[in-house]
Structure 1
Amino acid sequence: MAVKATPSGAAPPGRSAPPLVVVAVGLGFGLLVLLVRLHLEPVMSVDRGVARELNEVVSPRSYLVNALNGITRLGGRPIMLWLVGVAAVLLLVRRRLRLAVYLLASVAGGLLLDPSVKSLVGRLRPVVEVPVAAASGNSFPSGHALGSMVVYGAVLLVFLPAVRHRKLFISAIGLIVFAIGVTRIALGVHYLTDVLAGWLLGALWLSVTAYAFRVWRREAGRPVAPLDEGLEPEAAEAINRVPDSSRPIPHRWVTATEILTGWVFTFGILYVVGYLLKNHTEGTWLGRFDDGVVRWLQTFRAPTLDDVSWVWSKAGDTHAMLAISLVFCPIALAVWRQWRPVVFVALAMVGELTLFLCTAAAIQRDRPPVAQLDGPMSTSSFPSGIAATMCIWAAIAVLIMGRVRSRWRWVAVVLAVVMPAGVALSRMYRGMHHPTDLFGAAILTALWVGLLWWVLRPNVRAAPAEVRR
C-alpha cells in the first residue's frame, strides 16, 4: 500500500501533536467532573478545608485582599478581551490572517465552554465564614482559570517565535495563569477542584486548537515545527514588536533633563495662574464671568441634558483616557514599528497626571457655587481634569498628522477639538468647573505636549543617531 507523501519538512500526522498528553489532560478533566458530580466526601472535604483555611488567612488582612483582587483582574474579561483585541489587530496589521483567526477562534471557544460546562455540572460556589469577594453563576469550572489558560496560552503560542528569551516568557505566562487560579481559591469564590478543572479544560482546548492549526498548515504545504517554537516560526520577523533594536530616544539623560526642567516651568506657570485666579478675581469682572457662565448653564438643566452631560463627562475621565492609551499605543507600535510614538503618548499622560495632581494640591480652589450633579467634591477645581482628554487627543493628532498622508488624518484634529470641548461643556453644566479652570487645563496641555513634541520629535523617522542634537 502506497504511503502518501508529506511536504518537505512536515511532520507526519501521528507526530504533529503529543497525543498522550492530550489524552491525559482530557482524562484528568473527565475524572474531576465525575468526582464533583458524585459528591465524593474525600474530595468535598479537601475542597471545603482549603477554602476555609485560606479564608482564615486572607479575610483579616485587607492589604492581602486588595493584592489578590488586583491579580485576579488579570483573568477578568475586560483585560483579557483587551489583550486579545490588541493582539488580533497587530496580527492583521502585519498580515498574519491565519494567526489572527486562530487566536480569535481559540478565545471564542473558551468563552463558550465556560458557561456550557458550568450549566451541565451545576455546582454552587463555596460558602466561607468571612466573604471577601463575590461572583455570580455556578462554580465548576473556574472561568478565570479556564479563560486565562486559553487567552494567555494562545498569545504565548502565537508570539513565541518573536521572543528572544523563550524560557523566561513561558515561565512568566505560566506564573500569571497559576497566580490567577490561586486568587480565585484564596478569595473564596472557587473550590480547588474548580480551578484545577479550569486549567485542564483550558489546556485541552488549547491542544485541540493548536492541533487543528498545525493540520491547517500541513494541508497548505508548510512545515510543522515543534510547539516550543510557536505555531508559525516564520512569522517571527513580521510579529516582532520593533525590529530596530536601537534606542528609541538618543541622549536619554540630556532628554530627561530637558523634560524635567520643562515640567518644573510648566508647574510654575500653572501655580502662578491658579494662585491669581483663586486669590485675586473675587469681585472683579473675571470672577463674575467665571460664576456667571456656570450659573447660566444651570438654567438649561433637564433630564435629557443631564444624561448626555454625564456620558460626555465620563468620556473624559481617567478610565476612558487609560483605555484610549492602551488601545492606541499597541496599534501605533504595530503599524509604525517604532517606540518613539509610544514614549511620546506615555510621557504625555504621565506628565499630565503629575502636573494636575501637584497643581490641584497646591492651589485648592473651591468648586463653583452652584448645585453639582455629581455631588459635593472636595478636590480642587483648578486645573480642570479635562487636561487628560486634551493631552491624549492632542498627542494622537500630532502623531497622525505627522505620519499619515491620507486626508482622513484630519479626523484626528477634529477629535482633538470636539472631544475636549464636549467634556468641558458637560463639566461646567454639571457644576464641576469654572471657565478659567478649563483655561488652566488648556495651558497645561499646550505647554506640556508642546515641550514633548520639541524634545522627543515623535514623528522623526530617521535613525536615532540622526535626530536633532
Structure 2
Amino acid sequence: MVGLALVTGAGAGFGVLLMLVRFHWGPLYRLDHDVAAWLNALVAPHHPVVTVLRAITDLGGRPIMLWLVTVAVVGLLIRRRGRLAVYLIVTGGGALALDPSLKALVGRLRPVVDVPVAHAPGNSFPSGHALGSMVAYGSLLLVFLPVVPPRWRRPVTALVAALVVLIGLTRIALGVHFVSDVLAGWLLGLAWLGVTAYAFRLWRGERGRPVPGLTDGLEPEAAPDIAPAPDETRLLPRPGAAVAELVTGWVLIFGLLYAFGMFVSYHAKGTFLHSLDVAVPAWFAEHRTPSLDAASHWWSKAGDTHAVLLVSLVFCPLVVAVWRRWRPVLFLALAMFGELGLFLASARVVDRPRPPVEHLDGRLPTASFPSGHIAATICLYLAIAVLVMPRTDRWWRWLSVVAAVVMPLGVALSRMYRGMHHPTDLMGAVLLGTLWVGLLWWVVRPNADLDTGNRPRIGSGGPESLDDELAAAASGGDRRDRA
C-alpha cells in the first residue's frame, strides 16, 4: 500500500506541475527564472565547475542510458532471464516515448541566461535527463538488486538515488532546464517506474510465483544467473607480483620506444628508414583523390578514441555475460590503458614533428611518434583475438584474427595517406602494441580458466554453446523457472 500511495502521489504531483506550467502560474514562473539566473551567475565564471557539471550530466544522457540498458538486456538474454529483459525494454521504451511527446504537448522553451554554458535541443518540460536517469537507473537497480548482499542494499539504493538527484541538479545548474522541469522529470519517472514494477509483480502473481518485496528486487531467485561472475573465485593468483611485472615491463617497453623513436626522428638521416619516411608521405600526398579522402577519413575514425572505446564497451559486457569471468575484462582494460600511457609518454618525450605534407586532419595536440590510432587499434583487436580464439571452435572465431590484421592495416594506411604519420611511426605502434599485449598475456593469463577446466569453451555442441544460450533466451526464458 505504501508503494501504491507513493506512485499515485508521484503521478498526481506531476499532473499538478504540468497544469501549473501549462497555464503559466506566476509564482512558479518567477521561481524558475530567478533560480536559473542565480545559478548561472554562480556557475558561469568557474570553468572547472562547469566541466564537472557536464561530466555528471552526461551520465544521464541518452547515449549512456541506451548503452546501459542494451548491455543489461543482452546480458539477461544470454543468462536466460527473458522476463527481466522484457521488463527493461518495456520500462525504457516507455520513458523514451513519454519524454518527446510531453515536450511537444507542453511546448515550453528552455531557459535564457546571461552567460550560456551549455546547450540542449528541443523543448524544456519535462527534463529528459531527470526522467531517463530515474527510469534507467531505477529499473536496473530493481533487476540487479538480488545480486547485492542484503547489508549493502540500502547504501546502493541511496547511491543510485543520489546519482539521479545530481544529474537533475546539473541540468538546472547548466541553465538548460528550470527547477519545475527537473521535478516533473523525477516525478514522472518515479510514477512510470512504479507502474511497471507493479505490473511485473502482478505478472508473477498471476503465474503462481511468490511476490517479494521490492527491497529484494524483482526476481530474487535470479541472483545466481545475473551475478556477473559467480564462478570466478580469484581475479589474479599473485596480484602483487603481477603488478611488479607489469610496471617493470611497461618501463622497459617505454625505454625501447624512446630509443627507437629518437633514432628514427633525429638520427636516421642517410638510412633506408629515413628515405622511407620521406618518400611514403610524399607519394600518398601526390595520389590523393576526393573518394580516397572520404574513405581514409572513416578508416581513420575507426582507430580514434571514440571507436576504440565503443568496441571495448560492447565487448567487455559480452565477455562477462557469456564467460562469467572478470579476468578477460581486466586483460582488455589493461591493454587499452597501458597503451594510452605508453603512447602519451613516448609521444611527449620524442616530440616528433608530423610529415612535411598537408595534414588532412589539421593540427593535433600530440606528436607524430608513435601513432596512437594504430597502437590502440592493434591492442584492441589483438587482445580480442587472444581471448576469442581459444574459447570456441566455431568458424567465426577466425573473424577476430581477420579483424586483428585488417583493422590496424586499414587505420595505418589511412593515417599515412592523410599525412599524419611516417612509416616508422607505424613501426613504433606495432612495437608498442605487440610487446604490451604479449606482456599482458604472459602476466595476466586471461585464458587460465580454460586450463583448469572450470568453465567449458563455447563449442560446437553441448549446453555451453553460445548458440544454445541465445536460442534459449530468444524462446523467452529460464529452464529452471519452467521446471
Q: How high is the TM-score relative to the length of structure 1?
A: 0.93
How far 1:262 moved relative to its partner?
A: 0.6
Contact (CA 8 Å) 2:103, 2:123: kept in 1 or not? yes
2-side partners of 1:69 and 1:18: how far apart?
Answer: 33
Q: Which amino acid aligns with 1:439?
A: M
Matched residue count: 450
1-side partners of 2:206 and 2:364: how far apart?
Answer: 64
Name the stretch that deviates more: 377-386 or 160-169.
Answer: 377-386
Contact (CA 8 Å) 2:232, 2:324: kept in 1 or not? no
2-side partners of 1:395 and 1:446: how far apart?
Answer: 10
Match of residue 287 from structure 1 = 274
1:366-377 equivalent positions in 2, closer than 5 A: 366-377=353-364
Match of residue 131 from structure 2 = 146
2-side partners of 1:285 and 1:292: how far apart?
Answer: 10
Alignment of 1:241 onto 2:241: no
2:432 corresponds to which of 444, 451, 467: 444
Match of residue 471 from structure 2 = none
1:139-218 equivalent positions in 2, closer than 5 A: 139-164=124-149, 165-218=152-205
1:251 corresponds to which of 238, 243, 251: 238
Contact (CA 8 Å) 1:344, 1:452: kept in 2 or not? yes
Match of residue 124 from structure 1 = 109
Match of residue 19 from structure 1 = 4
Contact (CA 8 Å) 1:367, 1:377: kept in 2 or not? no
Q: Secondary structure at the match of 1:18?
A: helix
1:115-169 CA distances to partner (integer Å, 9 max, x unpaired)? 1111111111111121111111111100100111111111111111111211121
Q: Which amino acid aligns with 1:124?
A: L
Q: Which amino acid aligns with 2:393?
A: R
1:237-257 CA distances to partner (integer Å, 9 max, x unpaired)? 100011146320111111111
Q: Which amino acid aligns with 1:48?
A: H
1:58-117 CA distances to partner (integer Å, 9 max, x unpaired)? 011111111100100001111111111111111111011111111011111101100111
Alignment of 1:76 onto 2:61: yes
1:385-407 CA distances to partner (integer Å, 9 max, x unpaired)? 11001001000000001212212
2-side partners of 1:168 and 1:463: how far apart?
Answer: 38
Q: Which amino acid aligns with 1:183?
A: T
Match of residue 454 from structure 1 = 442
1:325-378 CA distances to partner (integer Å, 9 max, x unpaired)? 111111101111111101101111111011111111111111111111112345
Contact (CA 8 Å) 1:185, 1:191: kept in 2 or not? yes
Q: Secondary structure at the match of 1:407?
A: coil
2-side partners of 1:296 and 1:462: how far apart?
Answer: 48
1:241-320 equivalent positions in 2, closer than 5 A: 241-244=228-231, 246-320=233-307
Match of residue 390 from structure 1 = 378
Match of residue 343 from structure 2 = 356
How far 1:283 moved relative to its partner?
A: 3.3
Q: Which amino acid aligns with 2:50?
A: V
Contact (CA 8 Å) 1:290, 1:436: kept in 2 or not? yes
Name the stretch that deviates more: 373-382 or 295-304.
Answer: 373-382
Name the stretch that deviates more: 311-320 or 215-224.
Answer: 215-224
1-side partners of 2:266 and 2:170: how far apart?
Answer: 51
Name the stretch that deviates more: 352-361 or 377-386.
Answer: 377-386
Q: Secondary structure at the match of 2:396?
A: helix
Q: How high is the TM-score relative to the length of structure 2?
A: 0.91
Match of residue 39 from structure 2 = 54
4+ long deviations beyond 6 Å: none
Q: Which amino acid aligns with 1:428?
A: M
2:389 corresponds to which of 398, 401, 412: 401
Gaps of 5+ in 1: 1-14
Q: Which amino acid aligns with 2:260?
A: V
